[in-house]
Structure 1
Amino acid sequence: MSITAATPAPRRRPSPLGDFTLTPRVLVIVAWAVPVGALGAGAAWVLLRLIGLITHLVFAGTLSTDTVNPGTLGAPWWVVLGAPVAGGLVVGVMARYGSEKIRGHGMPEAIEAILFRRAVVEPKVAVLKPTSAAVSIGTGGPFGAEGPIIMTGGALGSVLAQRLHVTDDERRALMVAGSAAGMAATFNAPLASVLLAVELLLFEWRPRSFLPVVTAAVVATLLRGPILGTGPLFGVDVSSWHVGPTADVLCLLAGALGGLLAVAVTALVYASEDAFGRLGGRLHWMWWPAIGGLVIGLGGLVVPRALGVGYDVIGDLLTGRSALSLVVGILVVKSLIWGVSLGSGTSGGVLAPTFMIGAALGALEGFVLPSAGPGFWAVVGLAATVGGVMRSPLTGVVFTLELTHAWPALLPLLIASAAAYGVSVLLLGRSVLTEKIARRGGHLSREYGVDPLETAFVDEVMDPAPVVVHVGEPLPELPGPTAARVAQRLFPVLDDGVLVGVVGRGALRRDPAGWAEHVHADPVVVGPDDTLVVVRDRLAAAGVTAAPVVEDGRPLGVVSVEDLLDRRQSAAGASRARASAGGTT
């Protein structure tokens, strides 16, 4: 006869509310996201109209707020050459004497504010950023409006949140909601704007931030209709497209080329920034945008339609109406003047230029690859380049679909964007966004993963048999370290089996006779069913390294920082072991 030990039943833990909780406080922030969305839409309208006004005044001497390509207004050569220089001077002065935060394309600045400045943005940035961007783009700068509107909408959300009694997380949610609202109103792309917020700005996927962002993007999109229109920005006729397996396979090649283009333009931007940085000892950075403006002007003399936002050029490329000379000119000249001038520190966005050069690359491929319909390869090139430059492949796909309404191209775009993303990650250490943050001394990770401390409970790692001190009894012998644990530092103090406080190892050693005077009567405690994340947060908030584990007033053990580190280390070791064995991590 054999005796088999019964397997103990697993501990029945309290039933949680769910993966996430939706509290009334979240609903309050969602309500505040409604006016934030309206402000974002209004900011987008103002920025686009201001760009049109400056463009017409500078290049045609007329009053109009319609968005137009500067290269189509027939300005004399000296205006084409000199306007970007003058615009660069104005932006440099605004940055030096207004706020240095307006330099660059806006997204790294928004990320920095979110991660390193508690989502606090100065109110003046909400005025200076769109104004400087309008000056830069309106005088011929080859930039997009989306980076400035991300910073502007985010600044509006942040300023409103600063007037409210909200937490840092809630302020971040409202700031990103403003950014997404501005994007949605600019491009009529609410889903892509939300995805961009999740992939690039939020660094989390939780109801407390996701719901306000969606609310603001929806409000901004609804308001866009009466002020900017409801149609796609670059509508494409897909009725004659015939996309088969051959085109799908070739999208791998198109995506790889888009990734190489992304690597090249990102390298160009930062090579330009390094070159301007070497001027720092001889020429103040305030003057650098003017030098970048000179490069823009020279490029405009070669390819006039490379100037400005260039929505009309993007539309021509995506509908197959561009001649080979324009395609090559845009691909070469637009890339050069955008990369060099952005590195000079002027104000302008990256998405619209990425759209244009990506569409130009795809249009060029269309002259070589088998035809799948007018503009098909340009649409694929756009998605691939966005996925590679921004390191946001899903945003690249959805943005392209919402901009063009080319819904049948979903699978080819996914293939191309993912391929470009893979090439970019393989060849380039950081994206055009994160490289700038790294150069300023910051560090961030955009990889999502499950924290092992989120999935482990206290009773799985605690010391279940710690030495305790009883009131009115002699002190026990203080244990030393073992092979499994460091020496116990915190000792629960019991009175009739009930926890009445804790005392440290140092106090017991220094004053074994008067240790009772060193008892902390209100210690940090945790429960056996708390996750290790809860323990981590409580220990960090109190500035201690260990806590008793208590249930119904009675101690069950002690948990320490070393226990948390052991759990994290064991999870990392298992991941490395799987990787070395050829598994996935």
Structure 2
Amino acid sequence: MLSQSAAAVPKLSDHSADKRMLLLAAMALVVGAGGALGAWVLLKLIALATNFFWFARLSADHAAITDAPVGLFIVAIPALGSLIVGLMARFGSDKIRGHGIPEAIEAILYGQSRLSLKVAILKPISSAISIGSGGPFGAEGPIIMTGGAIGSLFAQCFRLSAAERKALLVAGAAAGMTAIFGTPLAAILLALEVLLFEWKPRSFVPVVIAVLVAAACRPALIGSGPMFPMTARLPATGPALAAAGLLGIAVGLQATLLSALLYRIEDLFDRLPVHWMWWPAIGGIVVGLGGVVDAHVLGAGYGSIQALLDGALGLRVVLALLVVKGVVWLVALGSGTSGGILAPLLILGGAAGALAGHLWLGDPGLWALAGMAGILSGAMRAPLTGALFAAEVTGLFAALPLSVASAGTAYAVSVLIMRRSILTEKIARRGRHIRQEYVVDPMDLMQARDLMTADPATLPGTMTAGDALRFFAEEADHRSYPVVDAAGRLLGLASRTDALGWRVADMPADRTLADLVSDAAQPVAYAETPVGHVADLIVETGVGRIPIVDPVTRRVVGLLSRHDLLKARHSHRQMETARSRFRAEAAGK
């Protein structure tokens, strides 16, 4: 008889959720509060650094760099802050370099979702120094890394799988983003489109809970209401959607150009004959020179975002912001300093939209919003996040159709022209390829009956060991065969390796296969078993051919081999590439 465990087949359902999802959901309550607290600490650190570098005072109150009376020291201060960040990266941890999201993705996909305490501490401090000293970055990238580290560290205190740690890491990242921007829906979509690389209840539910906890904590820690409130009179729907689509094409090209320029600049820094520790300081000098041209390009630039959305900037100022902010941001980020990309992208996309408003569409503020949605979608390959973020961060949900139109076309342009996003290009340069297309595994769509060899060749249980040796030596076409009784019921599996073992052990030639294989716990599957489960059986047991049996009679009805599993992928590939014309009348014949 086959062992009960060997013949067990999982109960089939639409989702793979189990009671551990509830455990992760409970843990997400703590992670969400930790992410919100981490966001508050990061904002206070940025304010503290801003006051220290630009006003020579110790204060955590909000301060605007444009109010600082520093004269030509405006060139030296960003360089000094960036030098400190370079030293922290060199002697602390080089994982604090960059904007944080690629590092979070790497930890998820290749680091079993483990982030260190050192990164959790150094990342917000280095980002605060970078932004506070004038670095043209936002707080979202650092808080995604910091919130993710909080979730990962908390998860590492318990006995969890890598996939479960990933859920809590991403929950912490989404909670931090929610606390900074007040965009819980966009944070959930960012988790799904960029960080999770799956859509399962096990990960989705903890992310939602952590985001809601952060949203509940935000009014007490940071404030309530939209971060960039705006009102606008929406134009007629049809022409406006068409205009938003055209704007999306433009900002999609802009996102592609920015990504290409960023990595060209990184390549130039790689060629410098100095240690990478000094690169941020060199980039800081360029930032300072940009501040001489227009001090509004320094720091996170949240005031500039609000001014763009209010339509308060003239054409010349918008052009200056578009060019100068773009240059200093690209150089600073390419130098390897610490800071985020979301706020600079909002400014650059918003400036492109405002420019279109000034020159053609009218109402620069409304089109700045559409430009922001488009550039987030095109640069990060996250169209749903980009569209909803722009509406949510402004509170102007009536503009959601415009942001969807802009984000959709920008996404289309980006994926057609640019092989990788601004996030994944950095990872690819480290020799790792990431596929950002989520599809159902073809092995989970097919059942054993779809791929098995029906009515396979079998060996009778009455066959002797001597006959089996001769069969495998002279006649066998396969490495192994099911052994069945007179009624066709499975007794076990006999292989060429088994036959050689019998010869070495001087097995009596008259012993039957029924005696030799009946004690083995043979893995089996049923015709309705998902192919993915059969693949797991092959990996776990090392048996290359799994008999498919009738669950009632135990009669062998098929056989599924390693080679058959490849047919699932080939079938899926055929669905993607094989093209033909379909006629209903032909199908009915």
TM-score > 0.5, shorter chain as reference? yes
1:59 matched residue in structure 2: 54
- Specify whether residues 87 and 543 from structure 1 end up closer, same or farther in structure 2 by C-alpha distance, changes over 3 A only: farther
Kept in 2, the 8 Å contact 1:361–1:381? The answer is yes
2:431 matched residue in structure 1: 441
Task: Give the C-alpha shift of residue 246 in structure 1.
Answer: 2.2
Work out which of the residue numbers 332, 342, 354 in structure 2 matches 1:351: 342
2:571 matched residue in structure 1: 570
Residue identity matched to 2:53:
V
Task: Give the C-alpha shift of residue 69 in structure 1.
Answer: 3.5
2:114 matched residue in structure 1: 120
Q: Do structure 1's residue 272 and structure 2's residue 265 form an aligned pair? A: yes
Alignment of 1:122-521 (within 5 A): 122-238=116-232, 240-279=233-272, 282-371=273-362, 373=363, 375-474=365-464, 475=467, 478=471, 487-494=477-484, 499-508=490-499, 511=502, 514=507, 521=520
- Specify whether residues 62 and 241 from structure 1 end up closer, same or farther in structure 2 by C-alpha distance, changes over 3 A only: farther
- Specify whether residues 89 and 539 from structure 1 end up closer, same or farther in structure 2 by C-alpha distance, changes over 3 A only: same
Task: Give the C-alpha shift of residue 43 in structure 1.
Answer: 0.3
Residue identity matched to 2:243:
L
Task: Give the C-alpha shift of residue 16 in structure 1.
Answer: 5.8
- Whole-angstrom distance in 2 between the partners of 1:410 and 1:433: 25
Task: Give the C-alpha shift of residue 566 in structure 1.
Answer: 1.6
Task: Give the C-alpha shift of residue 369 in structure 1.
Answer: 1.4
- Specify whether residues 46 and 473 from structure 1 end up closer, same or farther in structure 2 by C-alpha distance, changes over 3 A only: same
TM-score, normalised relative to structure 2: 0.90
- Specify whether residues 479 and 458 from structure 1 end up closer, same or farther in structure 2 by C-alpha distance, changes over 3 A only: farther
1:8 matched residue in structure 2: none
- Specify whether residues 129 and 464 from structure 1 end up closer, same or farther in structure 2 by C-alpha distance, changes over 3 A only: same
| DSSP-derived class of the 1:501 partner | strand
Identity, % of aligned pairs? 45
- Specify whether residues 505 and 164 from structure 1 end up closer, same or farther in structure 2 by C-alpha distance, changes over 3 A only: same
- Specify whether residues 104 and 581 from structure 1 end up closer, same or farther in structure 2 by C-alpha distance, changes over 3 A only: farther
Task: Give the C-alpha shift of residue 75 in structure 1.
Answer: 2.4
1:23 matched residue in structure 2: 18
Alignment of 1:39-54 (within 5 A): 39-54=34-49
Kept in 1, the 8 Å contact 2:21–2:202? The answer is yes
| DSSP-derived class of the 2:280 partner | helix
Answer with 193-202 or 501-510: which moved more: 501-510
Answer with 450-459 or 255-264: which moved more: 450-459
Q: Do structure 1's residue 527 and structure 2's residue 532 form an aligned pair? A: no
Task: Give the C-alpha shift of residue 300 in structure 1.
Answer: 1.0
RMSD: 2.5
- Specify whether residues 71 and 31 from structure 1 end up closer, same or farther in structure 2 by C-alpha distance, changes over 3 A only: same
- Whole-angstrom distance in 1 between the partners of 2:137 and 2:407: 22
1:4 matched residue in structure 2: none
Q: Do structure 1's residue 83 and structure 2's residue 77 form an aligned pair? A: yes
Alignment of 1:100-115 (within 5 A): 100-115=94-109
- Specify whether residues 487 and 364 from structure 1 end up closer, same or farther in structure 2 by C-alpha distance, changes over 3 A only: farther
Residue identity matched to 1:36:
V
| DSSP-derived class of the 1:502 partner | strand
Structure 1 spans left out of the alignment, 5+ residues: 1-13
Task: Give the C-alpha shift of residue 242 in structure 1.
Answer: 3.0
- Whole-angstrom distance in 2 between the partners of 1:102 and 1:358: 26
| DSSP-derived class of the 2:51 partner | helix
- Specify whether residues 133 and 493 from structure 1 end up closer, same or farther in structure 2 by C-alpha distance, changes over 3 A only: same
- Specify whether residues 523 and 16 from structure 1 end up closer, same or farther in structure 2 by C-alpha distance, changes over 3 A only: closer
Kept in 2, the 8 Å contact 1:37–1:220? The answer is yes
- Specify whether residues 556 and 382 from structure 1 end up closer, same or farther in structure 2 by C-alpha distance, changes over 3 A only: same
- Whole-angstrom distance in 1 between the partners of 2:327 and 2:268: 14
- Specify whether residues 105 and 71 from structure 1 end up closer, same or farther in structure 2 by C-alpha distance, changes over 3 A only: same
- Whole-angstrom distance in 2 between the partners of 1:564 and 1:87: 56
Answer with 440-449 or 489-498: which moved more: 489-498
Residue identity matched to 2:250:
L
- Specify whether residues 473 and 246 from structure 1 end up closer, same or farther in structure 2 by C-alpha distance, changes over 3 A only: closer
- Whole-angstrom distance in 1 between the partners of 2:26 and 2:392: 26
| DSSP-derived class of the 1:124 partner | helix
Kept in 1, the 8 Å contact 2:308–2:364? The answer is no
| DSSP-derived class of the 1:369 partner | helix
Task: Give the C-alpha shift of residue 108 in structure 1.
Answer: 0.5
Kept in 2, the 8 Å contact 1:480–1:487? The answer is no
- Specify whether residues 480 and 572 from structure 1 end up closer, same or farther in structure 2 by C-alpha distance, changes over 3 A only: farther
| DSSP-derived class of the 1:367 partner | helix
- Whole-angstrom distance in 1 between the partners of 2:353 and 2:193: 25
Kept in 2, the 8 Å contact 1:71–1:306? The answer is no
- Whole-angstrom distance in 2 between the partners of 1:488 and 1:21: 35
Residue identity matched to 2:394:
T
- Specify whether residues 117 and 15 from structure 1 end up closer, same or farther in structure 2 by C-alpha distance, changes over 3 A only: closer
Kept in 2, the 8 Å contact 1:241–1:374? The answer is no
Task: Give the C-alpha shift of residue 136 in structure 1.
Answer: 0.7
| DSSP-derived class of the 1:165 partner | coil
- Specify whether residues 62 and 572 from structure 1 end up closer, same or farther in structure 2 by C-alpha distance, changes over 3 A only: same
Kept in 1, the 8 Å contact 2:461–2:491? The answer is no
2:28 matched residue in structure 1: 33
Kept in 2, the 8 Å contact 1:71–1:300? The answer is no
| DSSP-derived class of the 1:368 partner | helix
Task: Give the C-alpha shift of residue 495 in structure 1.
Answer: 5.9
Kept in 1, the 8 Å contact 2:234–2:399? The answer is no
2:586 matched residue in structure 1: none
Task: Give the C-alpha shift of residue 61 in structure 1.
Answer: 1.7
Task: Give the C-alpha shift of residue 68 in structure 1.
Answer: 3.6
Task: Give the C-alpha shift of residue 151 in structure 1.
Answer: 0.8
Residue identity matched to 1:278:
R
Answer with 511-520 or 500-509: which moved more: 511-520
Residue identity matched to 1:575:
E
Task: Give the C-alpha shift of residue 500 in structure 1.
Answer: 4.4
Instruction: Write out per-residue CA displacement over residues 428-485 of structure 1, whole angstroms, 9 at most, x where no aligned residue.
Output: 1111011111101111111122322111111222123233344452345758999xxx
Task: Give the C-alpha shift of residue 94 in structure 1.
Answer: 1.2
- Whole-angstrom distance in 2 between the partners of 1:236 and 1:403: 9
- Specify whether residues 479 and 503 from structure 1 end up closer, same or farther in structure 2 by C-alpha distance, changes over 3 A only: closer
- Whole-angstrom distance in 2 between the partners of 1:543 and 1:232: 57
- Whole-angstrom distance in 2 between the partners of 1:248 and 1:127: 45
Residue identity matched to 2:564:
D
- Specify whether residues 241 and 576 from structure 1 end up closer, same or farther in structure 2 by C-alpha distance, changes over 3 A only: closer
Instruction: Write out per-residue CA displacement over residues 89-118 of structure 1, whole angstroms, 9 at most, x where no aligned residue.
Output: 111111121111111110000001111111
